[in-house]
A = this chain, B = another copy of it.
Amino acid sequence: MNETFLQACRGEHTAYTPVWFMRQAGRYLPEYQQVRSKVSFLELCKTPELAAKVTLQPVDIFGFDAAILFSDILIPMEAMRLDLEFHEGKGPIFSRPVRSQRAVDDLVVPVPEESLPFVLETIHLLRGCLRVPLIGFAGAPFTLATYLIEGGSSKVFLHTKKMMYQEPELYHNLLTKITACTSAYLQAQARAGAQALQLFDSWGGILAPCDYEAFALPYVRSIIAELRAMTDVPIIYFINNGATLTALTTTAGADVLGFDWRLPIVEAVACSGRHAVQGNIDPLALFLPKERLEERIRTMLLDARDARGYIFNLGHGILPETPPGQVRIAVDAVHRFSGKP
Contacts and interface: CB of A to CB of B under 8 A. Distances in A.
Interface in A197-225: 205, 207-211
A263 interface: yes
Contact of A284 (B156, B261, B282, B289): B156
A157 interface: yes
Contacts of A315: 208
A39 interface: no
Interface string A243-271: 11000000000000000011110010000
A208 B282 contact: yes
Contacts of A157: 284
Interface stretch (A3-11, A59-67, A102-110, A160-168): A160-168
Q: How large is the interface on A (under 10, 10 to 19, 20 to 34, 35 or more residues)?
A: 20 to 34
Contacts of A264: 208-210, 244
A29 interface: no
A35 interface: no
A157 B284 CA distance: 9
A327 to B, nearest CB: 15
A269 to B, nearest CB: 14
B162 A287 contact: yes
A267 B248 CA distance: 15
A288 interface: yes
B284 A162 contact: yes
How many copies the complex holds: the figure is 2
A287 B164 CA distance: 10
A266 to B, nearest CB: 10
Contacts of A241: 241, 262
Contact of A292 (B161, B165, B267, B285): B165
A283 B287 CA distance: 35
Interface in A141-189: 156-158, 161-162, 165-166
B289 A166 contact: yes
Interface string A300-322: 00000000000000010001010
A287 B244 contact: no
Nearest to A160: B284
B288 A165 contact: yes
A131 to B, nearest CB: 33
Contacts of A156: 283-284, 319
Interface of A: 156-158, 161-162, 165-166, 205, 207-211, 241, 243-244, 261-264, 267, 282-285, 287-289, 292, 315, 319, 321
